[in-house]
Structure formats: structure tokens, C-alpha cells
Amino acid sequence: MLLKYFYDKSLAHASYMVGCQRTGEAIVIDPGRNVEPYLEAAAAEGLRITGSAETHIHADFVSGSRELADRVGAKLYLSDEGPADWKYQFADQHNSQLVKDGDVIRVGKVKLEVLHTPGHTPEHVSYVLTDEGGGANVPMGIFTGDFVFVGSIGRPDLLETAAGVKGSAETGARQLYHSMRKFLDLPDHLQVWPAHGAGSACGKGLGAIPSSTVGYERLFNPALQFKDEQKFVNYILADQPETPFYFAVMKRVNKEGPELVRNLTPMKSPAADLLPKIARSGQTIDVTPSAEFAAGHVPGTINIPLNMLAQWAGFIVDYEKPLHLVAQPSALPEVLNRLRSIGIDNVCGSFDAAAGKAAGLRTESYRSETPDQLKERIASGEVKLLDVRAATEFQEGHIAGAEHRFLGKLLREIETIDRTRPVVAQCQAGGRSAIATSILQRAGFDVTNMSGGYNSWRSAGLPVIRLN
């Protein structure tokens, strides 16, 4: 048996390829939309990808199962658990098998047993793996999807907070409790292979270690220590990360079936002199590093650096409107992969960043100042400080007088922000506040970015307020 791990750091998404070396077959568990890494790995190992299995209808990235079905004829294994509203609507368009609790999938001599583990979503299943080709007659591990993570457990509120299903958060939490008790009945030696790591918004407090065991999680996973259902429900519904707006889009896309990449409209390369007008009238994202953008950019553009694109574009981009990019041509394949991974397919054009600079179009800049430079103006009220971190970060400690304005909601709430004073954008270390600064400047604010953010403020020995 071969087991290969794939990790998309930009989405904190883990997927897996399981192969039977005797028969040359392989299956991918929870693939991302960019299927090239799986195809390349399979070719290198002399395997054919014959299947793709989903643990659930994902909310945070576009699934690659349809791509694998289209590219290599992979058979799709999709959950048939849960209510009618959460069934895969594209299953009949491909060679698919709808699976339920207790069903068995075979990939050569590899056995995958389906285990219904609802809570994160009603249809969620896990796959328990046994390597029969290696002579084993007991399982060696479990692909838990968004059910159990290293050091955490999947959040049960996304159907309510992302898809608008009222009352489903508590129902999901109670389902999750019973799934958790089922998990604890598994043998300690089973390896645990989750679909996400640290930084994912599909749970709180996810660990950065790629895998674990049932026994280790039994001992040290905070979510698995509860023996009282109501206490578990209270715990799991509290202090969850902000739900990205695009999660609602992802749930719909992955339920109905993502568009195949080969069918997407090709992107154009408009002349550089059109950029100022397009940036003023539409939505244009510049993916250059924040320091370079701060020094000079085209008015009207919003800056989301490439390394933060997948994490924040889903909050900021309007999926219903055309999107233009400012990027180096060499970076475009990666930019498109990251945007498409979260379903942003309406990219109609890209401008060469270097050409825009050479044409003298980068006529706008913004200030970045240190906490020491800003402290007196903040204290006096001369400027308004906007803390754009998550609510949990703000509660753990913030600067006196700061107004909490989560970055993900900033564009939608821009008209409710006081314009009578200059504003300062601040986050933990300066990265998120740089994005916020570009959004605020585009909206006409006199704005400064606090370099180093809250970390630098504390390092300078300046006072903070703690709510917890």
C-alpha cells in the first residue's frame, strides 16, 4: 500500500492518495480543485487514479472530484447520509457510488469502510482504512475529514452561519457529540488523518501536526474530554472563528457540482492604460507584496498579497462581479489556482504589474508608522484606531480606544465607519492591516497602517486592555 499526503498551506487543506501497488490503482480522499499534484504523484508511482472519495460537502474550498472524473475517469464515492437538502446533485453526471455507514470501498487490496460521523455537517462520513494487501485484518487508520482534527474537532455551526439554516448549529453540536463518542470507541492505535491543519476556519484551535492517533487525541484533544452532552455543546459553539462569506458559495458549488476548469472563460490581458479606469469602476486586486503596494499603486486597487490571497479573497471579492488582477505574468498560474480553489472563477483580465509601474500608473501610496510614532495621536483621539483582527484576538487584548472592525467584514461595513477623523489600521503584526489600509484608502479615508501591529505595540511596553 502507498499513502501520500498533500497539503495546501494557503487553505490549510490536507488531502490523501491511497494506492494499491499490487493492482496499480489509487484513490484520492478530499481532493482540491487543482488536481495536477495528484496526477503527477500517481504517474511517478506507476499508479492509476481510479477513485475519488469525499468526506462531506466542503465549505472552504472547491472539491476536485469532478475534475478527476473528467480528467481520468475516476469513480466518485459520495455520501448518501443526511437530509435531502444535502445530497450531491451532480452524482448522476459521473460514474458515482453513493455510500452509507458500513459500506466498503475497495481499491485493489486496500479496504475503506464508511463510518457516518455527522455534526460538522449532517452528511459527513469518515473512512476507516485496512491494508489487506499487507496482510492486516484490522484497520490502521481513519480519514476523518472535518470531523476530528489534531487537537480539535470540526465546528457544527457552518450550516447556520454560512448556509443560513436556522437552528442547525445546536443540532449539529449534539450530533457531533454522539459522533465523538463513536470515535472514542475506536482502538487507540488507529492513525488519524484529518482534512485540515492550523489556520483553517473549519474548527477552533487546530494543531499544526499533520496526523495523530485515536489514543493521543483521547488523552489530549480538549473537545474529546466531555462526558456531558450539554457542556460539550456549550464548549463547541463558543469562540468559533469568523465564518468567511464565501463558505456559503462553496457549500452551494460543491453540492451542485463545480464547473470544470477547462470550461472557464479564458482571461484577457487588457492594455495597461485601461487599468486606472477599470480600477475605479470595478474590482481590481493587486497581489504584489504589501510594502511594494504601500510605496506605489494604482488608485482604486485593493491589495491582497499572493501569500494571503486564498485566505482573504473570499471575504473581499464580490463573486457576482468581474474581477481584474494586477500581477507579474509569471505568478498568474499560482494566482488563478488560489482564486479558483475558493470558487472565484469570474477573473476576466490581468494587468502586468511591471508594465503598470513603467507606465507611471502607480501614483498613489500610503503611510506606515510605528506604535511610538502613533501612540500620542491615538491617545489624544486625533486619529481613530481600527483593530481589524478577529473578535477572539481583540478580546484577548487590545489598545485603549480601538474600535473593532474585523477585516473580513470591513468592505461590507465601510459606510458605518466615522470619516470625521483620520484612521489607523492595526492587526497583530501588520499584514492584515495592510490589506485593510488599501480597502480604506480606496473608500476615500485618510489612513495609516500601523507597522508591526499589536505585537510591536506590546514590545514597545505600551499599555493594553484585556477582556479575558
Vertex 317: Cα angle to 312 and 319 (nearest 5): 125
User: Between the CA atoms of 143, 146, 152 and 155, what dihedral angle is there, to the nearest 10 degrees?
Assistant: -160
Three-class secondary structure of residue 339 per DSSP: helix
98 in Cβ contact with 114 (< 8 Å): no
408 in Cβ contact with 314 (< 8 Å): no
Type of residue found at 59: A
Q: pLDDT per residue over 133-182, tens digit each?
A: 989 999 999 999 999 999 999 999 998 988 888 889 999 999 999 999 99
**Cα separation, 468 vs 72, whole angstroms:** 53
User: Between the CA atoms of 219, 110, 100 and 174, what dihedral angle is there, to the nearest 10 degrees?
Assistant: 10
Three-class secondary structure of residue 209 per DSSP: coil
Q: How confident is the model at residue 243 (pLDDT cuts 50, 70, 90)?
A: confident
Vertex 20: Cα angle to 16 and 25 (nearest 5): 85
425 in Cβ contact with 450 (< 8 Å): yes
Type of residue found at 314: G
Across the chain, what does the average pLDDT equal? 96
Q: How confident is the model at residue 201 (pLDDT cuts 50, 70, 90)?
A: confident
**Cα separation, 65 vs 153, whole angstroms:** 24
| Residue 249 parent element (H or E) | helix 246-256
For residue 14, what is its C-alpha cell? 490536507
pLDDT at position 111 is 98
- Partners of 152 in beta bridges: 149
pLDDT at position 467 is 75
pLDDT at position 126 is 98
pTM of the model: 0.93
347 in Cβ contact with 442 (< 8 Å): no
**Closest C-alpha among 199, 328, 252 to residue 88:** 252
Rounded to the nearest angstrom, the gap between the alpha carbon of residue 67 and the centroid of all alpha carbons in its chain is 19
Q: How confident is the model at residue 58 (pLDDT cuts 50, 70, 90)?
A: very high
Cβ contacts of 265 within 8 Å, gap of 6 or more: 348
Residue 413 has pLDDT above 70, yes or no: yes
Count the helices and strands in the chain (H runs, E runs): 17, 23
Q: How confident is the model at residue 205 (pLDDT cuts 50, 70, 90)?
A: confident
**Which spans in 296-362 are helix H?**
309-316, 332-341, 353-358
Which strands make up the sheet holding 423-426, listed edge to edge? 367-369, 447-450, 423-426, 384-387, 403-404
pLDDT at position 468 is 64
129 in Cβ contact with 139 (< 8 Å): yes
Residue 284 has pLDDT above 90, yes or no: yes
**Cα separation, 28 vs 303, whole angstroms:** 35
Identify the sign of the CA torsion 150, 155, 158, 159. Answer: positive
Residue 321 has pLDDT above 70, yes or no: yes
User: For the residues 348-355, what does the mean pLDDT come to?
Assistant: 95
**Cα separation, 12 vs 8, whole angstroms:** 6
User: For the residues 293-305, what does the mean pLDDT come to?
Assistant: 98
Q: pLDDT per residue over 302-314, tens digit each?
A: 999 999 999 999 9
